[in-house]
Structure 1
Amino acid sequence: MASTQDGAGDHPKRPIRIAGASGGFSDRQRAIRDLAALDIDVIVGDWLSECTMTLHGAQKVDNERLRAEGKLMEEPVGLFDPTFMDNLSPALPDIARKGIKVAVNAGASDTRLLASLVEQEVKRSGLALKVAYVEGDEVTDTVNRLIKAGEPFPSLMTGENLKNWGYTPVYAQCYLGGAGIAEALSNGADIVVCGRVADAAPAVGAGMWWHGWDREKDFDQVAGSLICGHLVECAAYVTGGYFSGFKRLMEGCENLGFPIAELHHDGSCVITKEEGTGGEVSVGTVASQLLYEIQGPLYYGSDVTAKLEGISMKQIGPDRVQVTGVKGLPPPSTTKVGLTAVGGYQAEFHVYICGLDLEAKAEWIERQIRYSAGEAAKELSCFKFSMNGYCPDNARNQDLATVDLRIFVQTKNKKLVSKSTLDVPGFNRWCMDNGLQGCPGWTLGNDQRQSEGKIYYEYYVTVLPQDQVQHRVTLTWDANRAINVLPCQNMANYLRDQPSYETQAPINLSTYEPTTRGPLGWIVGGRSGDKASDANVGFYVRNDDEWDWLRSLLTIDKIKNLLDEEYKGGKIERFEIPGIRAVVHFLLRDHLDRGFNSTSTYDTLGKNVGEYLRSKWVNIPNKFLHRGRF
């Protein structure tokens, strides 16, 4: 049970127990209720992503415009996570009775409103919990002012300046750290509602408050809390979700446990999970989550920079992994900021083809549709044909032999993707007109709603000086007293590109013969993710003697070769973490066709980059293969 003391540093030096209750809006809703019944000190949760930030921000701009024009007929739904209140409410009695603290970023673009709803629910429940909220992440006015002053705002993905983007930002939201959360908890808050604090920031703030670290110099400890927060920020990702060894976790996969971190005073932590639940906490699952969405050997937060290359993980018991060796550096002088712009309209049409000669059938359809589009195709910013799936030899059923040919378009001309009735000129007709001169088996998809244009948004990631951010905490029970949170005074400047290197003294791969040709993923685990249009992917092995083979095999050129047609010529950066299942990590610059809200690909979040690469064939040493496959 949590201590009833409020002041930072007043707690006993035992570790703080932090439970990760959410990794996003698609997580299970039982989390806060069930975790509040356990012996924990703080519940943290991450409900935001670049997708939700973009959509909430764009809708907030629309609401403000309609309100100014007198066209907003009723008060809009709050632009915060719509599931949060249903998640929190059942847990409030246990939270109050046991003195558990809560820190979440579910406020999105309406943090103050969500905090007021939490406060109302607390009062309705007859409880005495204190609610605070953290603001300062919305920086649209600041960004516009700096643009007018000549700030170039180079893209973190491409390095090009904002003026070359081609879109006009309508909303800007930056990433805050955990210092504001620590301030709120130190002043007595029980529930802290935030907007866009970084995913790991609630755990950082909880650690600062509990252990009383000096944010100006205790960088190793704060960096440890940053990595701890990163490990639990995506809930079951660290207990078996997205894990390459998932097949052995089938028993109980319906209810993977939510994670619990024991964060020690020195910044080390132990990751465990709810008892009696599915999944596992192993070096494999923890290493897999560590690799998610990292960018290189340095992991940046607004409070600290963590060095990843020296991290060590050790299995110290069933479902207990100890994480040590995190070193800290001063935080960057900037913080990441995402700019949202209206991109235009997008639509898609699906034709199903089957059986033999699929490539030729796809070419037939593409040539006909491009001919039908004619000069109007010049008004499309994206006109893409992709054949998705394949027909295996002697397929056991017709659905398995059927392939989806997806035609995807984006344009600023809404008329080209207007309502998909059969008599409206435009995208739908270009596709539909060719049905009766189609290739053998041409079959119409039965949901034509997708060929009607929907608005989409472009997202641009850059950095903003931390001294331009008005980080602020409001204590609602104390006459809405506001506390300004200043940046750390000991910050540093970092280059956009992190250190990248090939392995030292690689082993001649011929020494590992005899080998068998097969998928890399037979013996190599992996994990990938996105940061706007960048994709990261990390690989690891299960046994120490496989490390030399992995690091020698996976060079930058080898990754380019394995990517095959997916490699578009972008820069690839590489580094290693030898102490954690022998990790080799790659950052694929500008690999994902922009980001979630505007991409033309199926892999909207980069999560399948790693699975694609694990499916590619390499020469696998027989002595490793004999140990069994993932």
Structure 2
Amino acid sequence: MTRAPIRIANFSGYLGDRRTAIDEALAGDPVDVLMGDYLAEITLASLSAAYHRDPSRGYVEYFVRQLRPHLATIAERGTKVVTNAGGFHPARLAEVLRSEVAAAGVDLHVAHIEGDNILTDLGRLGSEGHVFDNLDSGAPLSSWTATPIAANAYLGGWGITEALHAGADIVVCGRVTDASLTVGPAAWWHGWSTDDWDALAGAVVAGHIIECGAHAVGGNFSGFLDIPHRTVPGFPIGEIAADGTCVITKHTRDGGAVTADTVTAQLVYEIQGPVYLNPDVTVRLDHVRVDEVGPDRVAVTGAEGAPPPPTTKVALFGRVGFSVVNTVFVTAPHVEEKIALIRDQLVGALPDGVDVDLTPIGTAADDPESQWAATVALRVMATSDDAETLASAHVGAALGSLYLQGIPGYFHDGAAGLHSAPQPRIDYWPGLLDQTALGHRAVFADGNSLPAPVPTTAPVVPQPNHPEPHEAPLSDRVTRVPLGTVVHARSGDKGGNSNVGVWTPDPRAWLWLRRFLTTDEVRRLLPEAKDLDIIRHEFPDLRAIHFVFKGLLGTGGSSNLRIDQVGKAIGEYLRSRQVLIPDDLLGTTEFDSAGAESAATGTPDDTTTEAAR
């Protein structure tokens, strides 16, 4: 008999997310599973440093405080809890939770998932011929100059499924894929087999949408001005049917909204293209559709599945040096010349072996009407391979010494101070490892374990090739306005690559958007990416274009020198760029807006040329 859809409620999208989320979820609408995701790549790097200092920890400790008050309620309702809060030590978190369960006097069974932490196995695996090819460059791990301090394979959802089948109420994971936290419970609930490819693909899509918490409910959304009660957006619920299709919704009592656009924003977030690789299934996103089927209810259909690749990703982290970061302020006029003098004075004051990276933030107004409008923040990052050398540089003191010998209009935030203590820089290596080399299993309180089934695999499906459009947009009248006037965007990171999904909610604008937003145009709009390898794909059913900027984030967010370390703001930067948009898409022939520049053209050929710039 076909079971009703499983209702999976997210309560965390990253390490540091709103800590009242479990309280909110249990006070909201009934659900079958509570799911919490804490491990983004950059937060995994941070947690790896903590684990390296103290191997008895390395898990998300505040999760225990989140869950503690609700153990009796969870037991009474029969709600399952699945999370990757185990971080680098899921076995220890499972022990702590069992102590909490005993203290609460309730009957709950805790299991944890093992097999992802392969740091101590790297030597053996290397001798067996596994080279951990870099996912981006193809280089072998032996070419990496960093010494690994953490190595965690991305596991699929079948270990979670086995744990739930065996009676676990709380399943603690380390580095499973984010979507696995949804796939595992859905496969358990519906009794799927490892080759139910389309159903599994649908569950991966559902998991991808709800894994980032309030993202799907209007958080971090370019259309936030249209989101009701946006001060505290709620957390999403995925209702996953037996065929893998789903409805994304939220708790009725909570703020925010679930719309076709908030769901699309998450669909195009942190993917590499229409082919989405997962240890359990290869997902084709080409024809995924979103349809609003009720207030705060969006149906997601069209995902297609195929056997997964034979390899899975391994996140390796290694220390590559140390950094000290401070922010000082430069006042106009002559901002460029002043920054150049600061650079020269710092370089002369710091010892050999210390490099300095200066990044100005913002631009002073031509005719500032306040002191702050005349001010540019200057982020100063000093780096060194050696902590002692960097500490001896006394970077904060060096910056503090510039007041009387340096530029006019120089200051720092006295309330924040200036700092000299080095912090480790952690490099990231996304390697590949055969799934058959993993010891993926569910482990229970008595020490017994169940191996996760290994699905049938197939060669990696390459991303499709979408030719660049050559037809220029046609319009008699165009107006210069921000691109964001007619499009939404969301950006994120995958290792050293940044991705941006751009889509339009207006079907009339889709033909113009896909013709206009070519790779060459994106290079013009985003000068930071003009020399990079850029991959472009189209998603017609979502009216979306997706770009991957290879190497924009260096080798990863944890080690690059960018202020926007993981590219979260690139989508909004792109939307802020002014371009020529046909007036009929703006709903007016005279677009009356500050900074808008109407452009009437003399001939159709002139229009075509001007609108394509």
Query: Fold-level match, TM-score > 0.5?
Result: yes
User: Any unmatched runs of 5+ in structure 2?
Assistant: 594-613
**Alignment check: 8 A CA contact 1:515 1:620 kept:** yes
**Alignment check: 8 A CA contact 2:523 2:530 kept:** no
The residue aligned with 1:519 is 482
Equivalent of 1:181 in 160, 171, 188: 160
CA–CA separation in structure 1 for the residues paired with 2:133 and 2:486: 40
Tell me the amino acid that sits aligned with residue 286 of structure 1: V
Equivalent of 1:323 in 253, 276, 300: 300
Shift of 1:434: 4.1
Tell me the amino acid that sits aligned with residue 524 of structure 2: N
**Alignment check: 8 A CA contact 1:502 1:555 kept:** no
**Alignment check: 8 A CA contact 2:326 2:418 kept:** no
Tell me the amino acid that sits aligned with residue 299 of structure 1: Y
CA–CA separation in structure 2 for the residues paired with 1:42 and 1:433: 57
CA–CA separation in structure 1 for the residues paired with 2:393 and 2:183: 55
- Pair 1:32 & 2:5 matched: no
CA–CA separation in structure 2 for the residues paired with 1:450 and 1:563: 33
Structure 1 stretch displaced more, 185-194 or 153-162: 153-162
- Pair 1:481 & 2:454 matched: no
Tell me the SS of whatever aligns to 1:512. coil
CA displacement, residues 10-41 of structure 1 (integer Å, 9 cap, x when unaligned): x7521111111110122222222332343211
Tell me the SS of whatever aligns to 1:102. strand
The residue aligned with 1:192 is 171
Equivalent of 1:593 in 554, 563, 568: 554
CA–CA separation in structure 1 for the residues paired with 2:141 and 2:298: 43
Let me know the Cα RMSD of the aligned residues: 2.0
Tell me the amino acid that sits aligned with residue 619 of structure 1: L
- Pair 1:492 & 2:471 matched: no
- Inter-CA distance 415–142: structure 2 relative to 1 (3 Å threshold): closer
**Alignment check: 8 A CA contact 2:321 2:385 kept:** yes
The residue aligned with 2:529 is 567
Tell me the amino acid that sits aligned with residue 559 of structure 2: S
CA displacement, residues 568-611 of structure 1 (integer Å, 9 cap, x when unaligned): 6221111111111x010011111113323222111122111111
- Inter-CA distance 330–243: structure 2 relative to 1 (3 Å threshold): same
CA displacement, residues 383-417 of structure 1 (integer Å, 9 cap, x when unaligned): 31111111123333212321112221221122332
The residue aligned with 1:240 is 218
**Alignment check: 8 A CA contact 1:129 1:190 kept:** yes
CA displacement, residues 177-212 of structure 1 (integer Å, 9 cap, x when unaligned): 110111111111111111111111111011101111
Shift of 1:84: 0.5
CA–CA separation in structure 2 for the residues paired with 1:345 and 1:448: 20
The residue aligned with 1:158 is 137
CA–CA separation in structure 2 for the residues paired with 1:347 and 1:550: 43
CA–CA separation in structure 1 for the residues paired with 2:574 and 2:16: 26
Equivalent of 1:271 in 227, 232, 248: 248
The residue aligned with 2:37 is 46
Equivalent of 1:98 in 56, 77, 85: 77
Shift of 1:128: 0.9
Tell me the amino acid that sits aligned with residue 204 of structure 2: L
Tell me the SS of whatever aligns to 1:546. helix
CA–CA separation in structure 2 for the residues paired with 1:449 and 1:341: 27
Equivalent of 2:347 in 359, 370, 394: 370
Q: TM-score, normalised by structure 1?
A: 0.89
- Inter-CA distance 560–183: structure 2 relative to 1 (3 Å threshold): same
**Alignment check: 8 A CA contact 1:417 1:428 kept:** no
CA–CA separation in structure 1 for the residues paired with 2:396 and 2:233: 43
**Alignment check: 8 A CA contact 2:134 2:140 kept:** yes
CA displacement, residues 259-297 of structure 1 (integer Å, 9 cap, x when unaligned): 111101111000110112211100000000111111111
The residue aligned with 1:624 is 585
**1:303-342, aligned counterparts within 5 Å?**
303-342=280-319
The residue aligned with 1:607 is 568
**1:283-432, aligned counterparts within 5 Å?**
283-373=260-350, 376-377=351-352, 379-380=353-354, 382-418=355-391, 425=393, 427-428=395-396, 430-432=398-400
> Number of matched residues?
588
The residue aligned with 2:105 is 126
**Alignment check: 8 A CA contact 2:111 2:172 kept:** yes
**Alignment check: 8 A CA contact 2:524 2:530 kept:** no
The residue aligned with 1:458 is 427
Equivalent of 1:546 in 501, 506, 509: 509
CA displacement, residues 537-571 of structure 1 (integer Å, 9 cap, x when unaligned): 1100011111111111111111111111x126221
**Alignment check: 8 A CA contact 1:416 1:426 kept:** no
**Alignment check: 8 A CA contact 1:345 1:455 kept:** yes
- Inter-CA distance 568–579: structure 2 relative to 1 (3 Å threshold): closer
The residue aligned with 1:218 is 196
CA–CA separation in structure 2 for the residues paired with 1:513 and 1:407: 48
The residue aligned with 1:533 is 496
CA–CA separation in structure 2 for the residues paired with 1:562 and 1:364: 30
- Pair 1:18 & 2:8 matched: yes
Structure 1 stretch displaced more, 299-308 or 618-627: 618-627
The residue aligned with 1:556 is 519
Shift of 1:503: 4.3
**Alignment check: 8 A CA contact 1:507 1:548 kept:** no
Q: TM-score, normalised by structure 2?
A: 0.92
- Pair 1:55 & 2:19 matched: no
- Inter-CA distance 428–547: structure 2 relative to 1 (3 Å threshold): same
Tell me the amino acid that sits aligned with residue 61 of structure 1: H
**Alignment check: 8 A CA contact 2:496 2:553 kept:** yes
CA displacement, residues 123-165 of structure 1 (integer Å, 9 cap, x when unaligned): 2222111111111110113323233455432322333333333
- Inter-CA distance 449–431: structure 2 relative to 1 (3 Å threshold): closer
**Alignment check: 8 A CA contact 1:25 1:83 kept:** no
CA displacement, residues 512-543 of structure 1 (integer Å, 9 cap, x when unaligned): 33111121111110001011111111100011
Tell me the SS of whatever aligns to 2:207. helix
Identity in percent: 37
- Inter-CA distance 154–430: structure 2 relative to 1 (3 Å threshold): farther
User: Any unmatched runs of 5+ in structure 1?
Assistant: 1-10, 65-75, 419-423
CA displacement, residues 69-109 of structure 1 (integer Å, 9 cap, x when unaligned): xxxxxxx5x22112211211222222111111111111001
Shift of 1:432: 4.5
CA–CA separation in structure 1 for the residues paired with 2:113 and 2:242: 25
CA–CA separation in structure 1 for the residues paired with 2:80 and 2:6: 11
